[in-house]
Amino acid sequence: MNFEKVSKQLANPSGQFGIDIALGMNTMNEFISKTTYELLKINDNDTVLEIGIGNGKFIKDILDNTSGVSYTGIDISETMITEAKRINRPLIETGYVDLFNADIEEIPIWDEVFDKICTVNTIYFWKNPIKALEEVYRVLKKKGILIVSFRPFINGQTLDFTQYGFKEYRNEDFESLIEQTNFKIIERIEKTEPEIEFNGKTHNLTSQYFLIQKTTAYNVYK
């Protein structure tokens, strides 16, 4: 397997190979995505933004058991947005789901629109993490909730493709980023994921879920 090629596709999937890679990543990301949605505790009529939706397979899960939720999903990959629109056409036709191509550093949305925002396994690819967080802060409502979910760097956990184009974060690395913003970490949750197989190996991965709130005071992590 060409891990460098795979890594580039994970950052910005394109073409048929990107579509195929996304199908594989759905399997690897199902647990972390659905756990993120549960922790987001979406209420009826919430406005929700998801950053990095891939092919959008899990959008239906974020809308389950709620009504009147307005969901916006963005992805840097035009290929993924095309696939997500195809897969979620019935949801889009309801008028409550909007999907479009955009970078986390330039979200074409008015200020303070969303009650809740989440992003799963995208932090590795943020070119300018502080700018990305500032842009998320801008579109999040006062006291709104952001969840950033990722697999932290742990010796022995790293998958083969992460040596190419990934920036892996330890928990303290991410906490340091948040300290430079007006976000406040309100909870950090760690999960051991179900076993997955990748490249002929079985992995027990650990995932972290940072629940973060928009504040107007400078953040102090508790």
169-216 pLDDT, tens digit per residue, is: 999 999 999 999 999 999 999 999 998 776 677 778 899 999 999 997
Under a CB-based contact definition with an 8 Å cutoff, are residues 213 and 188 in contact? Answer: no
pLDDT greater at residue 24 or residue 215: 215
**For residue 146, what are the CA distances in angstroms to 2, 8, 150, 196?**
34, 26, 13, 27
Confidence class of residue 106 from pLDDT cuts 50, 70 and 90?
very high
Which of 25-34, 62-71, 161-170, 205-214 is least confident? 161-170
Please report the pLDDT score of residue 216 as a whole number. 77
Which of 85-94, 112-121, 159-168, 190-199 is least confident? 159-168
- Residues with Cβ within 8 Å of residue 116, at least 6 apart in sequence: 40, 42, 46, 47, 48, 49, 144, 145, 146, 147
* Highest mean pLDDT: which range of 131-145, 153-167, 200-214: 131-145
Which of 119-123, 162-166, 196-200 is least confident? 162-166
Please report the pLDDT score of residue 168 as a whole number. 86
Under a CB-based contact definition with an 8 Å cutoff, are residues 38 and 61 in contact? Answer: no
Tokens of 110: 């008015």
Q: Are strands 114-120 and 140-150 parallel, antiparallel or unpaired?
A: parallel
pLDDT of residue 132 exceeding 80, the answer is yes
Confidence class of residue 30 from pLDDT cuts 50, 70 and 90?
very high
Please report the pLDDT score of residue 221 as a whole number. 40
Mean pLDDT for the stretch of residues 87-96: 97
Q: What is the pTM of this model?
A: 0.92
Q: What is the Cα–Cα distance from 4 to 10, expressed in whole angstroms?
A: 10
Instruction: Set out the domains of the chain in order of their start, with CATH numbers.
Output: 3-214 (3.40.50.150)
Confidence class of residue 222 from pLDDT cuts 50, 70 and 90?
very low
Please report the pLDDT score of residue 201 as a whole number. 74
Under a CB-based contact definition with an 8 Å cutoff, are residues 36 and 189 in contact? Answer: no
- Residues with Cβ within 8 Å of residue 16, at least 6 apart in sequence: none
Please report the pLDDT score of residue 4 as a whole number. 60
Please report the pLDDT score of residue 35 as a whole number. 98
